[in-house]
Structure 1
Amino acid sequence: MSKLKLACIIDDDPIFIFGLKKVMNSVEFSEEIMIFKNGEDALHGLIDLKNEPETLPEVILLDLSMPVMDGWQFLDEFTKVKIEKKITIYIVSSSIDPMDYERAKSYNDIQNYIIKPVQTEDLKSILKIFKSTYEA
């Protein structure tokens, strides 16, 4: 299974990011990893790259609970941006609130909702879905 070119983590927890990067590397998830500490930084950073699709991530792993701009606010703004490249978003959250899960379903750009901590099998599943959907 080949890896993604670029994945993006949007999360404010440095310990979670450290662990997720380790798991991502263990399954050869992506060649590069782009990291943003909050939704606002991610929104501005991704908008700045929108005219260069090859510099945009193929997959975003998005936390919901962050300072400055949370995951929901990021989604509300990011889905308004016209981007040529298809970017698949996965919510990665410690929230088990059924309302969060249902709200996530209301966004067309969200592929799935993953409960933290992210497991090796979660990432392998993302790779498998991505490869079968976008490289078929």
Structure 2
Amino acid sequence: MKKKIIWVIDDDIIYQTIINKLIQKMEVFSNYSSFMNGKDAIISLTNKLEEDSNNLPDIILLDINMPIMDGWEFIEEIKKIKSNIKKHIQIYIVSSSIAIEDKDKSKTYAEIMGYIPKPISVNDLMSIVSNDNN
């Protein structure tokens, strides 16, 4: 199996630490990047589109509630540049939100592959990796 590039966009430093350890332990990811908000991630994504589109993420784990640019705003920005992205990027909402509205809203976006409640598990990550069609 080809190793994947994964990005985690979440402002929770404890969650970032935990997910980083899970990702390292799994050994199915070639590259891991983390961002504390959607704006930093969009800037990085745009830069990678211009520099080296081979290093775009295969998978993005996206939190909803973050400062500066939240998950929903990030998705709206992705939609604006989607035509420039030649790679299929799987985006999963990973949130501690238990609001049914958030789960329902995530289903209205074609860009979002699924909604995973925190804490994410190794099984969740393996399921995401095995769902990738690339």
Taking structure 2 as the reference length, the TM-score comes to 0.92
Structure-1 residue corresponding to 2:88: 86
Structure-1 residue corresponding to 2:119: 117
Counterpart of 2:59, as a letter, is V
Structure-2 residue corresponding to 1:97: 99
Question: In 1, are the aligned partners of 2:10 and 2:36 still within 8 Å (CA)?
Answer: yes
Q: What RMSD in Å do the two structures reach over aligned CA positions? A: 1.2
Q: Distance in 1 between matches of 2:20 and 2:2?
A: 14
Structure-2 residue corresponding to 1:28: 27
Question: In 2, are the aligned partners of 1:60 and 1:89 still within 8 Å (CA)?
Answer: yes
Q: Distance in 2 between matches of 1:21 and 1:29?
A: 13
Q: Provide the secondary structure at the position in 1 that maps to 2:57.
A: coil
Q: Distance in 1 between matches of 2:26 and 2:73?
A: 30
Q: Distance in 1 between matches of 2:109 and 2:27?
A: 28
Structure-2 residue corresponding to 1:9: 8
Question: Structure 2: which 5+ residue stretches go unaligned?
Answer: none
Structure-2 residue corresponding to 1:128: 130
Q: Distance in 1 between matches of 2:53 and 2:4?
A: 12
Identity %: 40
Runs of 4+ more than 2 Å apart: 2-5
Question: Structure 1: which 5+ residue stretches go unaligned?
Answer: none
Deviation of the 1:28 alpha carbon: 1.9
Q: Distance in 1 between matches of 2:2 and 2:35?
A: 21
Q: Distance in 2 between matches of 1:77 and 1:17?
A: 23
Structure-1 residue corresponding to 2:37: 38
Count of paired positions: 131
Taking structure 1 as the reference length, the TM-score comes to 0.91
Structure-2 residue corresponding to 1:50: 49
Q: Provide the secondary structure at the position in 2 that maps to 1:79.
A: helix
Question: In 2, are the aligned partners of 1:4 and 1:58 still within 8 Å (CA)?
Answer: no
Does residue 69 (structure 1) correspond to residue 59 (structure 2)? The answer is no
